[in-house]
Structure formats: structure tokens, C-alpha cells
């Protein structure tokens, strides 16, 4: 089996695994599981990790050349090493959305907008779960509920940072730093997409004006030719 066939075969299993991991992790954090329920959630997350490990290993084995593939797929390695990144695979769902009745450029922009919206929502939810998991057991922590964690994630990803709720654990601060960088990146994508939309609108208007000007000039030329013929006729 070549790498392309393997990736195609694993596309949906990886999406399902990402969603299963997200559900299991959210269940563990939100319900603050203990005992057998905690063990079940951990086992489910471990199985999804094994599937991602298998996918990464097979891709590395089938890649040609392997060194180049390894360097260009460091995110896939991070997904295996850092289990918290696995839910990001679920964003592949947005690639199934298509705008069939629009131009290619508009359709691409629509997919980018959908991707950014999905990425932002998923990023906020996952970061809220992660910071809640890190902060809740810490004495004196301000983030103790899912509502607090979601509010903190929203103000952090938008780089507002009111400071009413601040992580105090090293893990929580690391999550905050990563979330801020991701928020800046998402803001850059949104800005670039909006700028591209404005440029496209201006280009369309300019093209329409140029077309109208050309049509007007041709009409004037036709009228001048008609007048020229009439004057020639009168002279004769």
C-alpha cells in the first residue's frame, strides 16, 4: 500500500477518533470523574492515541523520502506526542463543505471562513477544558468551573485579557501562552480574508466601469460614423 491510499483509508477513522477523544476528555474534565468512570475515559483516550500513533508510524514508513516528510509534518508528531492536539483533527469535517453555485475564489474564501470559525470554536472549548483540568485542583485558583474556563478562553483567544481570571499553575500558563498565539494567528487569517474580499469587490467594480466605458466609446464611434456617412451623402 502506498502512502496516498493509506491516508485516504484513514481519513474518516482519524476524524472519528478525534471526536471520540474530545468527548471522552470533556466527560472526564467536566464531570471530574473518579474511580471506574475515570479509568474508562482514560482507556478510551488511550485507544485513540494508539490509532494516531499507528497512523503516524505508517505515514513515516511509507513516505518517500522519509526525512522530508518528517520535517514537513511536525504537527502530526505533536498530535501523537501531545494528546490535547488530537481534537484538531476533527476540523477535517469543514473540508466537506462546498459552495457549489459560486466562483472558485468565493468558494475558497467560504471554506476559509468556515474553517476559521470551526477552529476558533474548537480551540476555545479545548483550551477551556485543558485549563480547567490544570487549574481546578490548585489551591487558590480562580478557574474552578467550566463557565469560568470558557470565559477565560474567550477573552484570551481574542487577546482582550481582562485579567479577572488568571491561571496560576505552570500548565495553565503554558496553555494561556499557546492560546494567545493561536488567537493572533486566527485574527491574521480573518484580516487577510476580509482584505481579499474588499480587493475582489473593488476589482469587480473597476471591471464593470471599464466595460461600461468601452461600450460607451464604441457607441460614440458608431454615431460618429453615421454622422460622417450622412455628411458625405449631403455633399454628394
pLDDT tens digit string along 81-133?
776 565 555 554 444 443 333 444 555 555 666 767 777 888 889 889 989 98
pLDDT tens digit string along 166-198?
999 988 898 898 888 888 887 777 677 667 767
- Identify the helix (H) or strand (E) that includes residue 138: none
pLDDT tens digit string along 19-73?
888 899 999 999 999 999 999 999 998 898 889 889 999 999 999 899 999 998 8
- Which of 134-143, 152-161, 214-223 is predicted least confidently? 214-223
Calculate the alpha carbon distances from 28 to 21, 36, 39, 103, 130 in Å.
10, 11, 10, 44, 11
Mean pLDDT of 214-222: 74
Amino acid at each position: 500500500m502506498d502512502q496516498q491510499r493509506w491516508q485516504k483509508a484513514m481519513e474518516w477513522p482519524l476524524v472519528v477518533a478525534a471526536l471520540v477523544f474530545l468527548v471522552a476528555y470533556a466527560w472526564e474534565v467536566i464531570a471530574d470523574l473518579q474511580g471506574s468512570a475515570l479509568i474508562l475515559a482514560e482507556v478510551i483516550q488511550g485507544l485513540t492515541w494508539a490509532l494516531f500513533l499507528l497512523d503516524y508510524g505508517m505515514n513515516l514508513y511509507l513516505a518517500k523520502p522519509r526525512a522530508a516528510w518528517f520535517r514537513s509534518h511536525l504537527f502530526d508528531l505533536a498530535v501523537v506526542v501531545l494528546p490535547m492536539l488530537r481534537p484538531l483533527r476533527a476540523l477535517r469535517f469543514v473540508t466537506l463543505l462546498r459552495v457549489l453555485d459560486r466562483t472558485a475564489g468565493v468558494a475558497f474564501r467560504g471554506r476559509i471562513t468556515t474553517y476559521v470559525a470551526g477552529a476558533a470554536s474548537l480551540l476555545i472549548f479545548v483550551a477551556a477544558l485543558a485549563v480547567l483540568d490544570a487549574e481546578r485542583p490548585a489551591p487558590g485558583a480562580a478557574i474552578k468551573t467550566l463557565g469560568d474556563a470558557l470565559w477565560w478562553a474567550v477573552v484570551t483567544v481574542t487577546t482582550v485579557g481582562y485579567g479577572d481570571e488568571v491561571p496560576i499553575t505552570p500548565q495553565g500558563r503554558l496553555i494561556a501562552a499557546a492560546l494567545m498565539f493561536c488567537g493572533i494567528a486566527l485574527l491574521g487569517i480573518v484580516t487577510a480574508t476580509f482584505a481579499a474580499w474588499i480587493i475582489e469587490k473593488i476589482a469587480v467594480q473597476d471591471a464593470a466601469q471599464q466595460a461600461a466605458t468601452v461600450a460607451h466609446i464604441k457607441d460614440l464611434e458608431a454615431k460618429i460614423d453615421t454622422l460622417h456617412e450622412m455628411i458625405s451623402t449631403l455633399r454628394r
